A and B are shown apart, each in its own frame.
Chain A
Amino acid sequence: DAGVIQSPRHEVTEMGQEVTLRCKPISGHNSLFWYRQTMMRGLELLIYFNNNVPIDDSGMPEDRFSAKMPNASFSTLKIQPSEPRDSAVYFCASRRGVVVGSYNEQFFGPGTRLTVL
């Protein structure tokens, strides 16, 4: 299995530009998570999906952030417009089960390092 795939691996953009991050979860996994990692705040959950449906987006910092999962094998995280404080590493993770209480381990992608100038 190829694992969780993220693209691009690095993104440098200017303030105000739109940024789209992409994720392909592990085949057969039903849950997908987007995280952000910064030195100050560590790893924070932004949003997660079960069976392509957004379940909890309370971690999304503001309306400039949006995420979609049009099918079981693809998700995007979009920032529009981007700001320097959005600079961070964004991780996507996937998990097999969706039943509450039967928690399976999450598998992480390599991350996208975003720099907003």
Chain B
Amino acid sequence: KQEVTQIPAALSVPEGENLVLNCSFTDSAIYNLQWFRQDPGKGLTSLLLIQSSQREQTSGRLNASLDKSSGRSTLYIAASQPGDSATYLCAVGVLSEKLVFGKGTKLTVNP
């Protein structure tokens, strides 16, 4: 059974800092990995999707990497801003086409 773990559960940084969020999964047989952002009381917004054949994806200040063999992904946020404060969820797409989610990392960027 695929399990997804995100560490740390919460992170607080000063504005302008570069930061890395971590995601690990137990089964390397994945189709892809998706990073989401969730704001309080809101739905999930897709940030980046990495197919299993890819190593990384970039969008603006965000860069996500994927290492299937080690069961890890990282989300790098450059020059963090208070507007980046949210919960970041990692999800892996498995053989049955489901998404298995981690519990998320709650990020707070302090002005």
Q: Which of B43-83 contact A (CB under 8 A)?
A: 43-46, 49, 51
Determine chain B's interface SS by DSSP, over half rule: strand
Binding site for A on B (CB under 8 A): 31-32, 34, 36, 41-46, 49, 51, 89, 91, 93, 96-104
For chain A, the bracket of interface size reads 20 to 34
Determine chain A's interface SS by DSSP, over half rule: strand
- 24 A-B residue pairs with Cβ-Cβ distance under 8 Å, sorted by A, are A42-B101, A42-B102, A43-B89, A45-B99, A48-B98, A55-B97, A56-B97, A56-B98, A91-B44, A101-B31, A103-B31, A103-B32, A103-B97, A105-B34, A106-B34, A106-B99, A107-B46, A108-B36, A108-B43, A108-B44, A110-B42, A110-B43, A111-B42, A113-B41
A-B residue pairs, 7 tightest by C-beta = A108-B44, A43-B101, A108-B43, A110-B43, A103-B31, A105-B49, A42-B103
